[in-house]
């Protein structure tokens, strides 16, 4: 909230991903669902945010997929329900920015 981190997770994947982009995108989808849930709670409490929530990701391909619908051809193996991140970004509900892996 504000300048504070509200969620951070590190979790061993239970399934094998075909690529690092897939696992990063799945992680984005999980946190996007959590952020959407928090936004709904804040809305119910009549608390307005001054800025969009920002998700940080170190995989540039996953970030590209959140903004570009053409990337779907290259990601057919990712479940369709994971692509709601792109919808949230396109609707201006949240933003996704790159952060170097070293940080």
Per-residue pLDDT band for 18 (boundaries 50, 70, 90) equals low
Confidence of residue 45 (pLDDT cuts 50, 70, 90): very high
How far apart are the C-alpha atoms of 13 and 35, rounded to whole Å?
Answer: 20
Q: What is the tens place of the pLDDT at every residue in 74-84?
A: 555 566 656 78
Instruction: Give pLDDT, residue 26.
Output: 80
Using alpha carbons, list the distances in angstroms from residue 70 to 61, 64, 79. 12, 10, 16
Contacts of residue 33, Cβ cutoff 8 Å, sequence gap at least 6: 84
**Cα–Cα distance measured from residue 61 to residue 51, given in angstroms and rounded to the nearest whole number:** 25
Give the residue-averaged pLDDT of 2-22: 65
Average pLDDT for the chain: 77
């Amino acid at each position: 909230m504000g300048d504070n981190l509200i969620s951070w997770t590190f979790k061993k994947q239970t399934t094998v991903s075909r690529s690092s982009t897939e696992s990063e995108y799945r992680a984005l989808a999980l946190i996007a669902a959590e952020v959407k849930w928090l936004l709904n709670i804040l809305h119910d409490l009549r608390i307005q945010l001054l800025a969009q929530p920002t998700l940080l990701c170190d995989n540039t391909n996953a970030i590209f997929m959140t903004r570009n619908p053409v990337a779907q051809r290259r990601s057919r193996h990712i479940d369709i329900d994971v692509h709601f991140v792109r919808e949230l970004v396109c609707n201006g509900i949240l933003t996704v920015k790159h952060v170097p892996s070293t940080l």
